[in-house]
Chain A
Amino acid sequence: MNAAFWIISAITLVGAVLAVTLRNLVHCVLSLILFFLGLAAHYFLLRADFIAAVQILIYVGAVAVLILFTIMLTRNVTGTEGPREVLGGKWWAGAFIAAVLAVLLCWAVRGDKIAAALSAGDKAKSSVVEIGKILIADWIVPFEAMAVLLTAALIGAVVIALEEIRRRP
């Protein structure tokens, strides 16, 4: 199982790096999808089946597609741009900060007792039935709130994206 972890981690990392580095936007999105799939595999490793499925469904299925649509709708900025136009002004500041943060986070983990916990193995189980039960019973309020939020996001997105269209003569 260790090997699985390392391989999947490598895939995930590669996907993430490529997603933020590539020049071509569509290639970015594709590597983003790879990233999502790598994460889903991790979830499977961690025996959170439902979450893995949800990840694939929503992220790969909806979000990535959405991003592709947006790329299509804002088409004329893609193409072959040089690295100077890929990176923003003072990009090294951002890179530096990210590196610092990475170091900090890794350093935080090292030596922590909690971080030395071992895998729970088969004991960790997630059953869809169970999730369904507590979703309706204990977590009903956040569930309904989520529904409202999604409705609002839907309407909002439509309104924001739609207005310009109406203004066209």
Chain B
Amino acid sequence: MSIPLGHYLILSGILFAIGLCGALTRKNAIIVLIAIEVMFNAGILNLIAFWHYKQFAVLTAQMFAIFAISIAAAESAVGLALVIAIYRHYRSVDVEEMKSLKG
């Protein structure tokens, strides 16, 4: 029963790192977006864990989580629309090929 807060924090940290690893490593743009979703969720888990252990009397953290999720959804929608648009242009979703902004 007694799971200290620390375990949740470590869990979310590892999840975040996994997501980051995926974002930095994979070639496919969609996988990058998936990995970003993973990072996002790790953060929200952190938020809720803190709510549970520390601030459970006030619901501010839950509101935060609601809005974060909403925004994440909107962002993933726009991101995926971009991937589609890019696919139409480049005929591929390989991030390595999208370097015309090279300076």
Contact = CB atoms under 8 A, between A and B. Distances in A.
Contacts of A154: 74, 77
Given A77-B93, A117-B54, A146-B67, A101 B20 contact: yes
Question: Chain B interface mostly helix, strand, loop or mixed?
Answer: helix
A116 to B, nearest CB: 5
Contacts of B11: 9, 12-13
Contact of B53 (A85, A99, A117, A164): A117
Interface residues of A, number: 88
B25 A157 contact: no
Interface string B66-103: 11011111111110111111011100111110000000
Interface residues of B, number: 74
A28 B29 CA distance: 13
Contact of A20 (B8, B18, B49, B73): B18
Contact of B63 (A13, A98, A139, A163): A139
Interface in A40-71: 42-43, 46-48, 50-51, 54-55, 58-59, 62-63, 66-67, 69-71
Contacts of B93: 74, 77
Contacts of B56: 120, 123-125
Q: Which 4 A-B pairs have the closest CB atoms?
A: A94-B24, A20-B22, A115-B6, A105-B13
Interface of A: 1-2, 5, 9, 12-13, 16-17, 19-21, 25, 28-29, 32, 35-36, 39, 42-43, 46-48, 50-51, 54-55, 58-59, 62-63, 66-67, 69-71, 73-74, 77, 85-89, 91, 93-95, 97-99, 101-102, 105-106, 109-110, 112, 114-121, 123-126, 130-131, 134-135, 139, 142, 146, 149-150, 153-154, 156-158, 160-161, 163-164
9 contacts: A36-B41, A50-B66, A73-B87, A77-B92, A94-B20, A94-B25, A112-B6, A153-B77, A160-B78
Interface of B: 1-11, 13-28, 30-31, 33-35, 37-38, 41, 44-45, 48-49, 51-54, 56, 59, 62-63, 65-67, 69-78, 80-85, 87-89, 92-96
